[in-house]
Amino acid sequence: MTPNHDSTTTADGVLVGEFDVRLKGDRLDCTLPARFFQNYQKEHSVWGEVLPTAPRWLTAAEVEITSPGHLEPFPAVLGGISGTTVNGVLSFSAELTPMRQPIESAPAKELKEVTFALLDSPVTGNLVREQRPKVVTFPCGQFDISLTDPTTAHREIANALGPSPHILSNSGTIRERNGHAFSSNAARIAADTLHDALSFAAGSWVGIVLVQAVNASGEPVWSRWGTSRMSAASSQSGWYDPGHPQWIQPLCDGLLQAKSNEETWEPVRTALYWYVRSNTREAGIDSSLILSQCALELLSWFVIVKRTAALSEQGYSQLSSASEKLRLALTLLGIPRQIPAGLKKVSALRKDWRDVAEAVVQGRNYLVHPTQSRSGKRRARQNYPWYELWAAGQWLLELVILRLLGYTGSYRNRTRLTDFDPIERVPWT
């Protein structure tokens, strides 16, 4: 049976596939019929139900799932085993919880279109319907990715699943720009790249769900079940403004360019992860400042040693401090070092910090180093403006990532969010 999500939908989930699977684990190797469901509202958003004839494998906890022609192999936890009696006949069922998600159907070729839904997309934000563009299209390598308001099918699924902290905000399609067929591997890369681009714009992980591809005859040939990496539902501020969806358009190609070189992609990918983790105040604004500084320090090394080759690794190690390294990286990227005028409390401490690089680094050092480095004495207690220092760190991190992705447009300057119009051009243009 070809997986698809046009099957039964209840408040528990969407039935997406029924076929035999092989379970292989400790003292267990058998093939059983299975049904798979997904529900983006649940912590484990995709799961399977297998129907054994007897509970002889109750001790099996971790299993490897295979189903040639239907699913890519994946590890799962076997649990929730129960027995029921119907008309005097005892039967058993157990739940398979994948140890990673999303999971995919078997690789396929000759794809003509991929459809999907977005959860908590930043594209139109809280704009009223009259302010939203009907279609937003992003170039992504060989593809055009188009986003619209949710389709009828996606709205029906959302309504059947019931209330959720996550908003099914858009439906989307992935099509080859020249109308050619493409592979599921190419579709996966495009979907993952869109996920990174939208998450960077949102300042939180955006969910991609209900991914399904059809061939030229409209037959389902490939699916991804479960959700992409997704943040808890929340509203974060950042460099993107929903009134300007064109700001996102260059990001997919910029990310694809970065992904083409692992030496570039590894620090950029890591920095994006730390950016999203630090772009929240749930763990405390001081903790978020520490995380943003981690990303800035990694990117400083990459810019100075690898991207520009301004210094060798030995030369980099001889720079006197983390603030000196960040200062040089900002200079090489054309990003201003002066403390932004909108950060009035940080500006009042200019006698302590010569520029924004030193302010962010020294604020972080105060948090993670309780003693003075040379004397061993406990640092004097300081009541620094932590919110503004965090805003400065996130502002620098956004600009560095945008610069590394080749972005040349406008952005919302988070250090000017009290201004009526905080939108400006990126400084290197």
What CATH number should be reported for the domain holding residue 64? 2.40.10
Note the pLDDT tens digit of each residue in 334-348: 999 999 999 999 999
CA distances from 141 to 26, 109, 193 (A): 44, 18, 10
Q: Are 221 and 126 members of one domain?
A: yes
| Domain assignment of residue 225, yes or no | yes
Query: Which domain does 183 fall in, by range?
Result: 113-243
Residue 3 lies in a domain: no
pLDDT interval class at 127 (50, 70, 90): confident
Count of structural domains within the chain = 3
Contacts of 294 (CB under 8 A, 6+ apart): 274
**Domain membership flag for residue 322:** yes
Residues 389-398 have a mean pLDDT of 97
Is 59 part of any domain? Answer: yes
- Examine the domain organization and report whether 97 and 119 are in the same domain: no
267 in the same domain as 185: no
128 & 234 share domain: yes
Residues 238 and 295 in one domain: no
User: What is the pLDDT at residue 7?
Assistant: 57
pLDDT-derived band at 59 (thresholds 50, 70, 90) equals low
Look over the chain and give the mean of its residue pLDDT values, rounded to a whole number. 90
Q: For the stretch 378-401, what's the b/e string if a residue is b when 16 or more beta carbons lie within 10 angstroms of its beta carbon?
A: eeeeeebbbbbbbbbbbbbbbbbb
CA dihedral of residues 64, 68, 70, 74 (deg, nearest 10): 20
In-domain check, residue 45: yes
Asked if 137 and 233 sit in the same domain, the reply is yes
Residue 149, in any domain of the structure: yes
Of 81, 101, 121, at which residue does a domain stop? 101
Residues 50 and 190 reside in one and the same domain: no
Residues 33, 20 contacting (CB under 8 angstroms): yes
Q: Beta-carbon neighbour count of residue 167 at 10 Å? A: 15
The confidence score (pLDDT) of residue 55 equals 60
Q: Looking at the predicted structure, is the pLDDT value of residue 183 above 80?
A: yes
Percent of the chain with pLDDT over 90: 72
- Banded pLDDT at 175 (limits 50, 70, 90): very high
Q: Are residues 288 and 214 in the same domain?
A: no
How far is CA 340 from each of CA 350, 353, 388, 396, 413, rounded to the nearest angstrom? Answer: 11, 13, 10, 11, 10
Average pLDDT of 134-163?
94
The answer to whether residue 361 scores a pLDDT higher than 70 is yes
Same domain, 51 and 193: no
What pairs with residue 65 in β-bridges? 23, 74
Question: Is residue 80 domain-resident?
Answer: yes
Distances (CA, A) of 293 to 65, 297, 339: 41, 6, 16
pLDDT band at 86 (very low <50, low <70, confident <90, very high): low
